[in-house]
């Protein structure tokens, strides 16, 4: 067995790998960039080595530096996680050439599955059903247009080197083909340095179903059943589950057999995923499910498979990389219960899913039975602009699909993050969508119905009243009781916006300076009303604070400039509205802390006005 392991990754997957390695008594070495100096994976590993500046291409993607670090620290093996160098055949080969153990498939398997056209051709030759289409060498636009016509519209143009949902164009009519092709090729060249495309039949009512496979170095290959990842936004997975709803035993058997056949065709070793696309217009049936591509690594969504099979896939990876036989035979594997995973992101659905970067002042996950949280951050950590802004994978297991779904929705609704915005309420609404309840989600659901899911959540009345009670002095609460006026209302600031909140005299514990209101997976800061704060400036201190998170779009003054009361200082754009911040009194701009374009958090200091002496 491997005794020491370097993890060439960051975030939740680095932490996930460390957890299993530690349980197996394997020493772990983390690598990190400037931005990750205080990251969770650095804290959790037995040793951590700085490998470069924050941009991934100067740190996590520098293969030689990672290999040199493994050598220096005496690590015997390298686990690439997912993303970064995980599907880079050259890096895998370099690791092996350096005399280290590569926790992954052979470079030849990675290469064979690396390009979508070659992979499809290989699968078709091995007798695996592939999506109907053209995947040949001829790239002449007229010829491709002719092929599209033969396949029948709508068609999907796919960059053969594409990934992550990029380099794909859906074309409805022959008249639009030439433009779509040119645009897809431009994107493919820019993103992947390869303009080659293939043309596929666009599957209507498509469902994304994938099969987890595992191979060892002794020629054994098993499958660990399927996952359904049909809930997608712009071809990227949002919620995944295992098993797939509506899957009967015969269809499952045929799909999983096709997956094992695909893995055998490339002598697969380690954890891999065969992705299929199903035409679910009439439910799931084996003759309408086709191979799409193979991912030659551990998937983001691997936990749902672990939850229903009881297998630790990272443990299997490490055993297989150490030369051991697969711990279980096919007939020893079975499905137990149902598991669902949601990707909780630091992003704002109400603002077009823009990343919401910053300090995690508050980070709470809901609690309940069947819960699993895979995360790479902690309360007090930063969500960095340099990497994928995922906060956590929130996973729920239950005896039935409905139990897992309800548990996951509750875990998300009870989570609270501040001040960064998350997609938690979006996820809860998606889980409550009638199609999700019925298990008939197709990949176009969010494009059709996502707008309602993306609306910003509002705090509930009861939560607001309870929070307000924490801010009200006890004497005030007593006063209500004496006056026999059990409920009244008062002004507060909710994330800097003035609102009226009903006050209940019971349970008052205040006064606190500010408190959080939570609900619908979000948190808001509630503080006592201050007129100046509502306008951004404090008459007492001259500090100009951001009344809400937003972006500075104009700075009207310079440091040292003399200003008069009410003079315009800065303009903040938040929630698609402009807020002008003005000077609270005559004075000079003693401090100017934010420039045009800066993204600021609520209550961030933007400027400070000082009264002039004498």
Query: Long-range contacts for 429-435 (Cβ within 8 Å, ≥24 apart)?
Result: 429/453, 430/231, 430/238, 430/239, 431/239, 431/340, 431/342, 431/405
DSSP code string of 431-480: HTSHHHHHT---TTHHHHHHHHHHSPP---HHHHHHHHHTTSBHHHHHHH
User: Which of the stretches 67-75, 160-168, 532-540, 584-592 binds ligand ADP when contact is defined by CB under 6 A?
Assistant: 160-168
Does position 88 interact with ligand ADP (CB under 6 A)? The reply is no
- Looking at beta carbons only, is 208 or 319 nearer to ligand ADP? 208
Q: CB 208 → ligand ADP: shortest distance, Å? A: 4
Does position 203 interact with ligand ADP (CB under 6 A)? The reply is yes
How do 358-364 and 155-159 pair as beta strands?
A: unpaired
Residue 295 and residue 272 in contact, taking contact as beta carbons nearer than 8 Å: yes
User: Which of the stretches 87-95, 196-204, 307-315, 356-364 binds ligand ADP when contact is defined by CB under 6 A?
Assistant: 196-204
- Looking at beta carbons only, is 14 or 229 nearer to ligand ADP? 229
Which of 19, 22, 65, 235 binds ligand ADP (CB under 6 A)? It is 235
User: Which of the stretches 179-187, 194-202, 531-539, 569-577 binds ligand ADP when contact is defined by CB under 6 A?
Assistant: 194-202
CA dist 424 and 430 (Å) reads 10
Does position 602 interact with ligand ADP (CB under 6 A)? The reply is no
User: Which of the stretches 35-43, 161-169, 447-455, 463-471 binds ligand ADP when contact is defined by CB under 6 A?
Assistant: 161-169
Residue 442 and residue 464 in contact, taking contact as beta carbons nearer than 8 Å: no
Catalytic member of 27, 252, 288, 297:
297
Does position 445 interact with ligand ADP (CB under 6 A)? The reply is no
Q: Which of 549, 527, 566 is nearest to 606 (CA)?
A: 549
Does position 241 interact with ligand ADP (CB under 6 A)? The reply is no
- Looking at beta carbons only, is 184 or 468 nearer to ligand ADP? 184
Contacts of 480 by beta carbon, 8 Å cutoff, 6+ apart? 486, 487, 488, 503, 505
Other residues' Cβ atoms within 10 Å of the Cβ of residue 305: 27
Total number of residues that touch ligand ADP (CB under 6 A): 20
Q: CB 148 → ligand ADP: shortest distance, Å? A: 12
Q: CB 231 → ligand ADP: shortest distance, Å? A: 10
Residue 446 and residue 430 in contact, taking contact as beta carbons nearer than 8 Å: yes
- Looking at beta carbons only, is 208 or 252 nearer to ligand ADP? 208
Mapped onto helix, strand or coil, the DSSP state of residue 389 is: coil
Burial 443-471 (b: 16+ CB within 10 A, else e): bebbeeebeebbeebebeeebbbbbbbbb
User: Which of the stretches 68-76, 198-206, 430-438, 569-577 binds ligand ADP when contact is defined by CB under 6 A?
Assistant: 198-206
Which of 9, 28, 86, 131 binds ligand ADP (CB under 6 A)? It is 131
- Looking at beta carbons only, is 200 or 306 nearer to ligand ADP? 200
User: Which of the stretches 203-211, 410-418, 585-593, 604-612 binds ligand ADP when contact is defined by CB under 6 A?
Assistant: 203-211
Does position 232 interact with ligand ADP (CB under 6 A)? The reply is yes
Does position 86 interact with ligand ADP (CB under 6 A)? The reply is no
Which of 292, 298, 313, 468 binds ligand ADP (CB under 6 A)? It is 292
DSSP code string of 484-526: T---EEEEEEETTEEEEEEE-STT--B--S-EEEEETTEEEEE
Which of 52, 107, 206, 547 binds ligand ADP (CB under 6 A)? It is 206
- Looking at beta carbons only, is 246 or 444 nearer to ligand ADP? 444
Residue 405 catalytic? Answer: no
Q: How far is CA 359 from CA 362, 385, 547, in A?
A: 9, 11, 17
DSSP code string of 112-148: HHHSHHHHHHHHHHTT--B-SEE-SS---HHHHHHHH
Q: Which H or E element spans position 252? A: helix 249-265
Which of 41, 120, 208, 429 binds ligand ADP (CB under 6 A)? It is 208
Contacting ligand ADP within 243-282 (CB under 6 A): 275, 277
Does position 156 interact with ligand ADP (CB under 6 A)? The reply is yes
Mapped onto helix, strand or coil, the DSSP state of residue 317 is: helix
What would you report as the CA-atom Rg of the chain, rounded to the nearest whole angstrom? 27
- Positions that interact with ligand ADP (CB under 6 A): 131, 156, 162-166, 200-203, 206, 208, 232, 235, 275, 277, 292-293, 443
Catalytic residue annotation: 297
């Amino acid at each position: 067995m491997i005794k020491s392991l370097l993890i060439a990754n960051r975030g939740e997957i680095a932490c996930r790998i460390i957890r299993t390695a530690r349980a197996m008594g394997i020493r772990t070495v983390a690598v990190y960039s400037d931005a990750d100096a205080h990251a969770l994976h650095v804290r959790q590993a037995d040793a951590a080595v700085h490998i470069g500046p924050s941009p991934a291409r100067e740190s996590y993607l520098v293969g030689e530096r990672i290999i040199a670090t493994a050598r220096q620290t005496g690590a015997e093996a390298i686990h690439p996680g997912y993303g970064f160098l995980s599907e880079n055949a050259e890096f895998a080969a370099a690791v092996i050439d350096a005399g280290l153990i590569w926790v992954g498939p052979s470079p030849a398997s990675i290469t064979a599955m690396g390009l979508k056209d070659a992979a499809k051709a290989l699968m078709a030759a091995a007798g695996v059903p592939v999506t109907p289409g053209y995947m040949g060498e001829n790239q002449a636009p007229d010829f491709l247009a002719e092929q599209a016509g033969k396949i029948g519209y709508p068609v999907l143009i796919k960059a053969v080197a594409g990934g992550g949902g990029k380099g794909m164009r859906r074309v409805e009519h022959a008249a639009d083909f030439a433009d779509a092709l040119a645009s897809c090729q431009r994107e493919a060249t820019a993103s992947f340095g390869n303009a080659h495309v293939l043309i596929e039949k666009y599957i209507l009512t498509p469902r994304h179903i994938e099969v987890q496979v595992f191979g060892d170095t002794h020629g054994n290959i098993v499958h660990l059943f399927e996952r359904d990842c049909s809930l997608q936004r712009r071809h990227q997975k949002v919620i995944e589950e295992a098993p797939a709803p509506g899957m009967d035993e015969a269809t499952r058997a045929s799909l999983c057999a096709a997956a094992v056949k695909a893995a055998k065709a490339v002598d697969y070793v380690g954890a891999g995923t065969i992705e299929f696309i199903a035409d679910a217009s009439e439910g799931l049936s084996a003759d309408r499910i086709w191979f799409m591509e193979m991912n030659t690594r551990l998937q983001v969504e691997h936990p749902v498979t672990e939850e229903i099979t009881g297998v630790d896939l990272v443990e299997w990876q490490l055993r297989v990389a150490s030369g051991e036989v697969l711990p279980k035979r096919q007939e020893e594997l079975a499905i137990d219960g149902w598991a669902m995973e949601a990707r909780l992101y630091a992003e704002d659905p109400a603002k077009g899913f823009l990343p919401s970067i910053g300090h995690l002042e508050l980070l709470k996950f809901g609690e309940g039975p069947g819960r699993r949280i895979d995360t790479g951050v902690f309360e007090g950590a930063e969500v960095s602009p340099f990497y994928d802004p995922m906060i956590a994978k929130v996973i729920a297991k239950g005896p039935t699909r409905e139990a897992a779904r309800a548990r996951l929705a509750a875990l998300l609704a009870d989570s609270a993050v501040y001040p960064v915005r998350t997609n938690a309420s979006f996820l809860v609404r998606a889980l409550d969508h009638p199609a999700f309840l019925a298990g008939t989600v197709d990949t176009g659901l969010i494009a059709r119905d996502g707008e309602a899911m993306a609306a910003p959540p509002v705090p509930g009345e009861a939560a607001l009243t309870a929070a307000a009670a924490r801010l009200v002095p006890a004497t005030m609460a007593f006063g209500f009781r004496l006056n026999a006026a059990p409920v009244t209302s008062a002004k507060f600031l909710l994330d800097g916006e003035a609102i009226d909140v009903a006050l209940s005299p019971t349970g008052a514990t205040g006064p606190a300076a500010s408190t959080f209101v939570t609900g619908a997976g979000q948190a808001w800061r509630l503080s006592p009303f201050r007129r100046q704060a509502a306008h951004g400036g404090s008459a007492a201190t001259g500090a100009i604070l951001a009344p809400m998170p937003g972006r500075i779009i104009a700075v009207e003054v310079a440091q040292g400039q003399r200003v008069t009361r009410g003079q315009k200082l800065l303009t903040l754009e938040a929630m698609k509205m402009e807020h002008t911040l003005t000077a609270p009194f005559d004075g000079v701009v003693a401090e100017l802390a934010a420039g045009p374009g800066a993204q600021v958090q609520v209550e961030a200091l933007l400027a400070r006005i000082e009264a002039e002496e004498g």
